[in-house]
Structure 1
Amino acid sequence: MIPRPKTNASVSPKGSLETLSQREVQQLRETGSGSVYRLFRQCALAILNTGSHSDNAKTILEAYPDFEVRIHQQDRGIRLELLNAPADAFVDGEMIASTREMLFSALRDIVYTQSELENKRVDLDSSEGITDYVFHLLRNARTLRSGLEPKMVVCWGGHSISTDEYKYTKKVGHELGLRGLDICTGCGPGVMKGPMKGATISHAKQRIHHGRYLGLTEPGIIAAEAPNPIVNELVILPDIEKRLEAFVRVGHGIIVFPGGAGTAEEFLYLLGILTHPDNRDLPFPVVLTGPKSAGQYLQQLHAFIGATLGEEAQRRYTMILNDPSEVAREMAKGIKAVTRFRREHNDAFHFNWMMKIDEGFQRPFEPTHANMASLRLGRDLPLHELAANLRRAFSGIVAGNVKENGIRLIEEHGPYEIAGDKAVMQPLDELLRAFVSQHRMKLPGGSAYEPCYRLRA
């Protein structure tokens, strides 16, 4: 492994988290043994690696085995001492401003999450309690801003996409920005960066000085998909389920671009929620789109949804090929309907309280070999249950592809076994084969993709 340049530095927060209690500092000082410290170290290393071309969390962690973060309490607040940190995060000895902001956002979210759990103010035994927890995490991060008209567009898609697809996401982001809309993504590279980059230009053209580029992530993902530098609001949720709920609670509409297993996971999560009977009349615009070169991919994903979840799920989104302006117009029109609906029903603009999310979509899924093998995948299941289990299957594949724990499990025990009815497994196999052949599972330029799963009907 080629040695990477490292540096030592001392850095203080600016505007996001100036003080910690003695108990919180002690939790973080448990170097080498404390779980809170290990979690923050992992997230901090990912943030300092912003711009990295690796999507393997294990590789990034192994590249800096001697990286340390020390937390010091001082009369003016707190200070972080970084030892053997990635040198690319600094310019002439000063940490890049966006990197510093995100570093302390990570500290803020991890400390608050742990504090809430320890104080037992969180009711994780009920659906309402989980939603309330997500609300408090977002409010603590100052993400929820009352009084603002709905204009947050969530953009989902892959981190491993072609140049043509990436340029298309920038064009769509540009059209969204021209209409005064803000962008929320998973905060990493690829589709998570393109729409933000496009929107920055159009916001400048429209003299919008406070455009929002919100990035929502979780510890297992952030190490593999380091935040892109355009993100000006970063929130780290405790797990993938809280992250997905945050997307649909703060977003006013969602655009799904080309991607791989992670995108399919997000899409299935969304459709499983929108097809719930309680959400049948809830306006929430969803657009599936991509450039002309991604036409085959869009049709494959559309066909997979039809084969597994049926026409009811297909009716909850609009598919638009190679037309950024039409995508933005459709989204702007849909958000106007959302605004009218929330006014009529006295629902908050900043948090979608009325959307029903079944507990099956909220409970954390641990992608062990046993859990993956026991997933029920059959057309005899209620639509929302099948969607939830398919979402879990893709969540496991994402873990096996890029997450540190998932990669280690695959190395120790071999590929996951995923079984189900032929009516579901055949279209699933076809979709996954297409993802592999189109290089949608990993970033290009690395070694050939080795599937972390085996399917059987």
Structure 2
Amino acid sequence: MSPAVVDAVVSPSNNLSLLSRAEVGRLLDASRGDLHALFRRCSLAVLSTGSDIDDGRALLARYPDFDIRIVPQERGLQLELKSAPAQAFVDGRIIQGIREHLFSVLRDIVYVAEEIVDHPSFDMGSCEGVTDAVFHILRNANVLRATTRPRLIVCWGGHSISREEYDYSKLVGYEMGLRGLDVGTGCGPGAMKGPMKGATIGHAKQRIGDGQYVGISEPGIIAAEAPNPIVNALVILPDIEKRLEAFVRMAHGIVVFPGGVGTAEEILYLLGILLHPDNKGMPYPLVFTGPASARDYFALIDAFVAATLGDEARRHYRIIVDDPAEVAREMHNGAQQVADFRRRRDDAYYFNWLLKIDRDFQHPFVPSHENMAALDLHRDQPPHLLAANLRRAFSGIVAGNVKADGIRAVEERGPFEISGDAAIMARLDELLAAFAAKRRMKLPGSDYVPCYRIVR
């Protein structure tokens, strides 16, 4: 049976409500060009929030007649929707949170592409230029709180987790909310939704009315991780590398829940940055946590980090199992240390300018078969560079799992091939096999076919 759809015209509430005629004209031109397919795909993902589909192509197949276009108005613009998912509407009116997210998509997919990423003012070939672009995207989205003390805790973890792990993530969010901490996540379901949901209750009990629930995504993954309804500030970065940089620059601490390859990618990204000599001595609270049943999972992660990056990397995080209050205390105290450090260094509370992020962590990695086969996964390099290459390997597997281009490449040419030092490959194979066995590669109920092959 065909899904219920509606046609509608939607006006902005607070995003892009005031634009000049010239700005509206540029947006209109861009939305008709190469960006339209991307704009359409991301908009459909937002309108399908709550759907059980985690495949962008399947979503488009379910709503083949969906389209969206910008309608210029004398005082701004509107969005005209054709055959949009009816679940985004209540009694003929679009749900307010979805409306906000829809215009966030327009702002970030079209406006940012025109005004920031492709603009000659930003040198995307330099580390400083990329960081400046990330800052401007976040500032344009109005998610940087210049006058607020450090309190944003980013939570990473899988969208394919058990009910027990989800409930535990809510408890952690609740304890953090009681301590006045805000939450940022990848904006999807599972471990990205649980902490936000818990924090809303903690904030309500403490009568905190300005709680921030930041969702940071990127176009290639938003269909698999559509914004959950609690997100009140959505930002879509142009690619995974800028998304990760936005996370670590904004965060005053990071909590990692159980997850799959995407979570492993995030862990390696952050550890690689913290291992850079220029970042030595910089406080950055990092906790791995889950219910008692996740003890073996984190033991496996810890063993992988020790075997590949060494004991120095392990000193950058704590593993706290089955103790949500202790996690929240660690984050609260850590955020205070971050505040003291930045105050002494005269750095901004809302954006970590001092953090050194090398080009190896900023340059977009295209997960082609050639690039995956060419990854340098050997020990004869500094640990932070090995972390960068391991991160790319996991990024390629994420692409092969959930991103349209990656899925298509694997369908056409077979699994990606990964090779390197025997000891590293053995640990990598063990970790990935455990993810597959625990169904952490895709949403529960789906059959996972590996998109990679390890060549020894």
Return the TM-score normalized by structure 2.
0.98
Match of 2:129 in 1: 129
Match of 2:64 in 1: 65
Match of 1:329 in 2: 329
Aligned with 1:392: secondary structure? helix
Runs (4+) of structure 1 exceeding 6 A deviation are none
Measure the CA separation in 2 of the matches of 1:375 and 1:279: 25
The reply on whether 1:454 has 2:453 as its aligned counterpart is: yes
Aligned with 1:366: secondary structure? coil
Aligned residue among 24, 27, 30 for 2:26: 24
Aligned with 1:58: secondary structure? helix
Measure the CA separation in 2 of the matches of 1:11 and 1:124: 34
Measure the CA separation in 1 of the matches of 2:307 and 2:437: 21
Measure the CA separation in 2 of the matches of 1:112 and 1:68: 19
Aligned with 1:102: secondary structure? helix
Match of 1:434 in 2: 434
Measure the CA separation in 1 of the matches of 2:171 and 2:312: 30
Match of 2:215 in 1: 215
The reply on whether 1:97 has 2:115 as its aligned counterpart is: no
Name the CA shift for 1:247/1:117 in 2 (closer, same or farther; >3 Å): closer
**Residue pair 2:31, 2:110 contacting (<8 A) in 1 also:** no
Aligned with 2:36: secondary structure? helix
Match of 1:150 in 2: 150
Q: Give the Å deviation of 1:26.
A: 3.0
What CA deviation, in whole Å up to 9, does each residue of 1:138-181 have, x standing for no partner?
11111112121000000000000000000000000000000000
The one-letter code of the counterpart of 1:431 is L
Match of 1:56 in 2: 55
Number of aligned residues: 452
The one-letter code of the counterpart of 2:145 is R
Name the CA shift for 1:429/1:29 in 2 (closer, same or farther; >3 Å): closer
Q: Give the Å deviation of 1:456.
A: 1.4
Return the TM-score normalized by structure 1.
0.97
The reply on whether 1:395 has 2:390 as its aligned counterpart is: no
Match of 2:76 in 1: 77
Q: Give the Å deviation of 1:268.
A: 0.2
The one-letter code of the counterpart of 2:111 is Y
- What RMSD over aligned residues (CA atoms) do the two structures have, in Å? 1.0
Match of 2:339 in 1: 339
The one-letter code of the counterpart of 2:59 is I
Instruction: Mark the runs of 5 or more structure 1 residues left unpaired by the alignment.
Output: none
Measure the CA separation in 2 of the matches of 1:118 and 1:259: 34
Match of 1:357 in 2: 357
Aligned with 2:54: secondary structure? coil
What CA deviation, in whole Å up to 9, does each residue of 1:231-268 have, x standing for no partner?
00000000000000000000000001000000000000
The one-letter code of the counterpart of 2:91 is D
Match of 2:4 in 1: 5
The one-letter code of the counterpart of 2:104 is S
The one-letter code of the counterpart of 2:275 is T
Aligned with 2:221: secondary structure? helix
The one-letter code of the counterpart of 1:27 is D
Alignment of 1:10-409 (within 5 A): 10-18=9-17, 19=19, 21-30=23-32, 34-115=33-114, 116-409=116-409
**Residue pair 1:378, 1:423 contacting (<8 A) in 2 also:** no
What CA deviation, in whole Å up to 9, does each residue of 1:90-125 have, x standing for no partner?
001100000000000111112232222443111011
**Residue pair 1:399, 1:407 contacting (<8 A) in 2 also:** yes
Name the CA shift for 1:118/1:397 in 2 (closer, same or farther; >3 Å): closer
**Aligned-residue identity in percent:** 60
Q: Which moved more, 1:17-26 or 1:359-368?
A: 17-26
Measure the CA separation in 2 of the matches of 1:27 and 1:261: 38
Name the CA shift for 1:134/1:48 in 2 (closer, same or farther; >3 Å): same
Aligned with 1:219: secondary structure? coil
Q: Give the Å deviation of 1:29.
A: 4.5
The one-letter code of the counterpart of 1:56 is D
Q: Which moved more, 1:323-332 or 1:106-115?
A: 106-115
Instruction: Mark the runs of 5 or more structure 2 residues left unpaired by the alignment.
Output: none
The one-letter code of the counterpart of 2:78 is R
**Residue pair 2:170, 2:198 contacting (<8 A) in 1 also:** yes
Aligned with 1:3: secondary structure? coil
Measure the CA separation in 1 of the matches of 2:381 and 2:136: 34
**Residue pair 1:379, 1:423 contacting (<8 A) in 2 also:** no
The one-letter code of the counterpart of 2:25 is R
Aligned with 1:215: secondary structure? strand
Measure the CA separation in 1 of the matches of 2:220 and 2:86: 23
Measure the CA separation in 2 of the matches of 1:157 and 1:119: 34
Aligned with 2:439: secondary structure? coil
Aligned with 1:363: secondary structure? coil
**Residue pair 2:265, 2:395 contacting (<8 A) in 1 also:** yes
